[in-house]
Chain A
Amino acid sequence: MVKIEEKTENNEKIREIAIPGELIGSASTFKPGHGTYVEDNKIFSKFVGVLQKTNEYVSVIPLSGVYVPKVNDKVIGIIEEVEKFGWIIDVNSAWKGFLSLSEGVDEYVDLKRVTMTRYFDVGDIIYSQVLGNKGGDIQLTMRTPIAKKLRGGVLVKITATKVPRLIGKEGSMVNLIKEKTGTIIRVGQNGLVWISGENVDKAIKAIKMIEEKSHIYGLTDEVSKLLS
């Protein structure tokens, strides 16, 4: 079972699609959640997306859109440029990512003796965390246990807003794909997915299917059917 599904099932509601400007509730009975705005004490949708109502909140999960970074998001990036004291990284967003030298490397670096490319070079793929996004640029850090440089494998791009669906409840969906295909998968919150292992093609097929059918029920069953 996936997070989005469970919440709606509590209220026995079907997966309803909301349209921008559609009235989806009153602000006196619900709290406005993600993807909504309030005007004249009424809650409206901001996106074309899946309507989600709990007892407290009403929110809309968009079905398309670019990645907007949030602090502590885990993202996958591709090194685009090597600067004097850091790296410029493409994170599949409207803004560029920046990884400073001190956030990228855990040891003391004497730039007189070693070059920056020793750590990360153009084209390298990294799994890192968002520190903040002041002034438009996205600051990244590698100084967390989960961060690492990804070697080999393939990158797949999906819509960033559908990443929670791919991960599933506590990772159930992505773990299912990992188990059935015997691959290693890293999912970036920004919509980039890194896959390595033998059955890469099968895993990509499953991921593409999740992206296409993210708004329907019983997706977990369909994915296991596809992979078995």
Chain B
Amino acid sequence: MFAAVTSSTLLATMGSLIVVEAHVGQGIPAFTVVGLPDEGCRESRDRVRAAMLSSDLAWPTKRVTINLAGSGERRGGAGLDLAIAVGLLVATGVLSQEAVEGKAFVAELGLDGSLRPTPGMAPLVSAVGDHEVVVAATAVGEASLARVPRLRPVHTLKQLVEVLRAEEAWPHVAVPEPQVVMDEIADMADVRGQEMARLSLEVAAAGFHHVLLMGPPGAGKSMLARRLPGLLPRLTDEQAFRVAMARSAAGMPMSAVVTSSAPYRAPHHTVSMIGMVGGGSSHLRPGELTLASDGVLFLDEMGEFAPTVLDALRQPLEEGVVRLSRANGSVTMPARCLLVAATNPCPCGVSSPLACTCTPIAKQRYLRRFSGPLLDRFDLRVELQRPSTTELTSKSKSECSAAIAERVQRVHEMCMARQGCVNSSLSADALEEVAPLEDDALNVLRVRLDEGRLTGRGYHRVRRVARTLADLHCSEGPIGSEWVHLALSMRATLQTGHGEMR
């Protein structure tokens, strides 16, 4: 009459265990799901009914109540289908309660009684990892990412019933061993010229500094950004699986092979707020920020993004996590990404020297689309020009990603050993300790501050970048003026209003 079956439901990037209780009793035949089910879950009834009938199992003509017992959030997802079906079978006496003890069921049911994968298999399976987890045979690759010891892939509901009634053994489906492989990423060697931009990306990767690339169309902004993941240190296995989990939770198709290269996300500028930071009404879905965590988030044509979407990036970039609060709960998702944005320097986007037709006012208006606090997040603001013909046609290859990545890796290790964080997260106090300035370097900055060409915030940012530059060039001790000059040349002055410099 009563049964309790374990399953799991998705909350942002994490699965959470819930118990599906089924009760079959006297009364007018009906089927009710209680316990804050979402829309998809109410549809389960029809799928479960069809699947059971297709599998030659009787549908109880009694009053059926399904309760989703767990924490207080709205829950659901098609992944509960199998657990509901099994719960019904136990409650109607087709299966014994002992047969389902210690097992968890995560699969969607097809009308023909087959088991199907559902979005977020990896985190769903991971949440019930200490159980014997029954999943669809077709989802075994993605489910194996959760690395649970006992995974039971099954093809159909009928097959599962036979196994649980001890009439058959578990079907033989090979569970693949999850693998971490390296991805092919476009190489920096393909970029001709653009020495300054290449150097700034190296700095960005080494110190985890956010970059704003400003240049006319055709200067190679997207080309450069696409190559940045290749400069970042390889993901540790732990990170690689975390990235895979987030992707699985976002419903991206996954296999047992995960990549160890840093993720790269380049959302189109029409992306919505929820698409960017995550959220959604039924279950909270991870956004682009979370998918780009531990990697690169590239915003091409930053001026075209909705201002609200851009401003929503500010807090996550600072804290490294997205906190979403809703009426019935809040979740935290990782958002530790390296932001790379590209924009034209002005509305006309002309590249030849001084041929720009924009008035200063139009330029300022264009730059005012980006809120000041967001512009302040960029440690590096690099001006690009279109490469010259000689650079484009030159035969000599530029330095390859692997060589740059090696230096970046060395700086990362050095920073971790020295201060336990990347250079971009150095606090003002820590700067005095690990990045003191030589006298003439301090003078250079002091003159800029006096002239109003550098703000207080800019001062600290320049010092952080100078630290990274010195680290890259193996220069220990106080920062010399050459690194400060170089850091300053990577921080273009933006005039966002009359007399207002950023």
Does chain A bind chain B? Answer: no
